[in-house]
Amino acid sequence: MVHLIVGLGNPGKKYENSRHNTGFRVVEKLARKLVISPDYNNKYYLKGEGKWEDQELTLVQPLTYMNRSGLAVARIMKKNNLSPEHLVVVYDDMDIEPGRIKIKPGGSSGGHRGINSIIDYLGSTDFVRIKIGIGRPPPWIEGPRHVLGKPGGEEKEDLEKGEDRAVQAVLELVSGGLNQAMNKYNQPVDS
């Protein structure tokens, strides 16, 4: 089975180290680990193809910006004749503390605009999500400013650990299945 791993984020240097680009960074880390090179021949997404334990993987970074992620995802799924059960989306979540991840088999968008876009374009909520916690901002900082901001210090370290856990979770999901990955990675992080 082909696994389509989509990391959400915004293209460009301006957003590179933002909290909102955690999905992009996970896909980049996966590509480095699996020695997968990106294909730059598409205006809607970057993609790379490879294998993990005899499973085919396609890694994708939409270039349509977060709020229009569904456009890129729908295009690559249609081009490759894939259904939502092949899709794994990796993205940031303010309702989870930094450093923790949560794997979920479907459901609502939880207000995440990138997920909203994917649901709208696919007409389905039946795809796996790997959420990486970025935590809530203090009351004086609005949500959009928080997600587009760049973490520092301990928060940055926690976020990097969460991204590394998400990389391992993707590989676990691909080789061992959804339930095994959820059982292993939906637990609180040990201090």
30 neighbors 5 (Cβ within 8 angstroms)? yes
Q: Are 166 and 90 in contact (CB under 8 A)?
A: yes
Catalytically annotated residue among 3, 20, 86, 112: 20
Give residue for tokens 């020695």.
Answer: 35
Whole-angstrom Cα distance, residue 59 to residue 134?
22
Clarify whether 20 is annotated catalytic: yes
CB 148 within 8 A of CB 20: yes
What would the two tokens of residue 14 be?
Answer: 């301006």
Where are the extended beta strands (E) located within 96-137? Answer: 101-104, 128-133
Phi, psi of 181, deg, nearest 5: -65, -40
CB 75, CB 19: distance < 8 Å = no
Q: How far apart are CA 178 and CA 126, in angstroms?
A: 13
**Residues with catalytic function:** 20
